A and B are shown apart, each in its own frame.
Chain A
Amino acid sequence: MKPYGIIAEFDSPAAILTAAKQVRDAGYRRWDVFTPFPIHGIDKVMGLKNSLVGWFSLAMGGGAFLSGMGLLWFTNAFDYPLIVGGKPMCSIPMSFVPSYILMVMGGAIGALVGMLVLNQLPRLHHPLFTSTRFELVSRDKFLLVIGANDEQFCTVETRRMLESIGGTHIEVVEEED
């Protein structure tokens, strides 16, 4: 067993936001907060850039749209040309709607898949699940974790710092090698 990080608990969204600012200003790089719902403003404090989920969605949606257009051209104009009402074999009014619908489906799947991939889900286990206090995160507690892989990490110093910014129930969480 080796340490995964130190966790500290906070009681309100404002407290965790302030604590996050202080941890950032103390120079820590590898840390995260765990909250029951998204906290407004935490992205900026953590310096999170615009999520890539939108690109996943665009890629899947755009791909689905183009495949839809290709499918309609192939089936109704190329492989088995079908004359209906003397209209052109392949035209925008006919091919746009199904392709557009496919774009919506592709975009939606892309958004979900992108979210799961970027969050590294599904995963069977997480070191934090061993902490009993972690179960309260989905209820009304706010957790701040400083990872053991942080350059400044020190079980004594980091703990003292977390105490000084008002964290409670501070404990070291371990993970398997």
Chain B
Amino acid sequence: MADASTNLKSLLPPAELRRAPVVENNRGLGWLTDKLSAFAEGKIPRWWWILFLPSAFCATVLLPVCLFYQVTTGVGVWGNNHPVMWGLDIVNFIWWVGVAHAGTLISALLFLTKQQWRTTIGRMAEAMTVFSVMMAGLYPAIHVGRAWYDWFMFPVPTYNGLWPQFRSPLMWDVFAVNTYVMVSMLFWFMGMIPDFAVLRDRATTRVRKFIFSFLAMGWTGSARQWHHYEKAYVVLCGLCTLLVFTVSSIVGLDFCTSQLAGWHATIFPLYFVIGAVFCGFGMVLVILIPLRKWCGLENIITLSHIDKVAKLALVSGLIIDYIYAMEFFIAWYSGDPYERWVFGHRLFGHQYWFLGWTLIGINVLVTQLLWSKKIRRNLTALFIIGLLINLGMWTERFVIVVGSLYQDFLPANWSTYLPTRWDVGLYIGTLGTFFMLYLLFVKFLPMIAISEVKGSTPQGNPHHPLGGAKGGRQ
């Protein structure tokens, strides 16, 4: 070992050219396995219960009550009314889809670009995707008003002889969101198969052994299995990357194919994709920073990884800022009085103008703080910025949806929109459900891709001295 480490020092490039290691302090493979499966195997800590009980209350009491009342009474229990027919339900739908996107981006796109640091946070980001798409999918299903007719949205042969009308992007949305739910779950599950095998082999009780044997499906880790597995993983990553750019684009098309000023813009598909990714990175920061500390994962989710997430948030935030500028510019340049009216009123309107300023304050100004390395290394600051990004992006969707609808072409149509307690209750219910599912995932499933992390350390590299290689090749 002494030989290997002295050998290693002479081989390393100068300090300023070195990449930050994926796992700090040169941890061995056994240590990593113990550490990464420890949380799923250990006792349930107190902080988990403190977070879980309120989330579970929201998920099992608040959400069902709001759903039951709304479905049995009608969409009228929400604040939606003419002309604001799309209210908090659609705002939250887009927001949840957005949160999902960063997860897919981290786990799929960064895999294709061979960013090894993604191995440590990929699984947690995927779980975020799966649960938030579930929450997103709930909204359109109840927004239609008569939830028991949801099957009308699918091309089911019936005695009516009617079929869905496929020229509408709303119809494409049905396909896109369902595909997104399914593919992200598939991807998440497939990634976990080797880690289920790890937990199976470590299991001490019969129940654990049975459950994880069942989930691992007889995985042995033979080179042939890994060979097919890696191929399938690349294919799935490619397909998931397509989804990142498709799902939100289609949600954007729902808006831009309509004739409404403020929605009718060709930039919308891109706008929604980038907005989604930006919002999702905010959520990744909010989730990672506390979990890293509470689960004792400082050596694995390192400051350098969080720094990279923050940089990605900054990049997507800057694209968003550019899009804001373009939106205002095009509204002015188009010469269309309705467009100019809508965009002028986003900042200086009769109502909701403060939301326009909140949006600029957070998404444009607060994002710029991420330029500073000091702030990117300050976890408290990053956590707050993450929360603010989520708030900012929620506000953006509110401004787009409600801000464009409440004053349309005819002043006689104008009205205002205020969410009711059922709107808010439903939103809190979905937030609670999301966090409840997330906490269950963190506690009972492998929350970090154990095999992937091990494979990306020098100890797992057969051509690296620490992986046992002799000689100077790295």
Contacts and interface: CB of A to CB of B under 8 A. Distances in A.
B172 interface: yes
Contact of A32 (B224, B467, B470): B224
Q: Taking each of A39, A42, A54, A138, which has the highest tally of chain B beta carbons within 10 Å of its own beta carbon? A: A138
A7 to B, nearest CB: 12
Interface residue range, chain A: 35 or more
Contacts, number: 210
Contacts of B217: 116, 121-123
B330 interface: no
A40 B461 contact: yes
B270 to A, nearest CB: 16
Given A112-B190, A139-B33, A53 B172 contact: no
Contacts of A84: 165, 167
Given A14-B470, A105-B179, A98 B163 contact: no
A108 B375 CA distance: 39
A26 interface: no
A100 B217 CA distance: 31
Given A101-B175, A104-B239, A116-B217, A137 B201 contact: yes
B250 interface: yes
Given A40-B463, A139-B30, A139-B33, A87 B167 contact: yes
A134 B470 CA distance: 27
Q: Taking each of A87, A115, A137, which has the highest tally of chain B beta carbons within 10 Å of its own beta carbon? A: A115
B220 A48 contact: no
Interface stretch (B11-19, B43-51, B134-142, B229-237): B229-237
Interface stretch (B309-317, B381-389, B411-419, B449-457): B449-457
A146 interface: no
B246 A115 contact: no
Contacts of B187: 108
Given A11-B468, A101-B246, A104-B243, A124 B218 contact: yes
A38 B167 contact: no
B179 A101 contact: yes
Contacts of B296: none
A34 B30 contact: no
B32 to A, nearest CB: 8
A18 B449 CA distance: 27
Interface string B157-187: 0000111111101011001101100110011
A126 interface: yes
Contact of A38 (B29, B163, B226): B226
Contacts of B239: 57, 61, 104, 107-108, 111
Contacts of A46: 223-224
A51 interface: yes
A102 B179 contact: yes
Given A38-B227, A40-B461, 16 more contacts: A12-B459, A13-B462, A13-B468, A14-B463, A50-B231, A51-B231, A57-B239, A75-B163, A101-B250, A104-B246, A105-B183, A109-B182, A112-B236, A124-B218, A140-B33, A140-B454
26 contacts: A12-B459, A12-B467, A15-B468, A34-B220, A34-B222, A36-B33, A39-B462, A43-B223, A51-B227, A51-B228, A72-B166, A75-B164, A76-B166, A79-B163, A100-B246, A108-B183, A108-B239, A111-B235, A111-B236, A112-B189, A114-B228, A115-B228, A124-B218, A128-B220, A138-B197, A140-B28
Interface of B: 28-30, 33, 155, 161-167, 169, 171-172, 175-176, 178-179, 182-183, 186-187, 189-190, 194, 197-198, 200-202, 217-232, 235-236, 239-240, 242-243, 246, 250, 451-452, 454-455, 459-463, 467-470
Interface of A: 11-17, 32-43, 46, 48, 50-54, 57, 61, 71-72, 75-76, 79-80, 82, 84-85, 87, 94-95, 97-98, 100-102, 104-105, 107-109, 111-112, 114-116, 118-119, 121-126, 128, 134-140
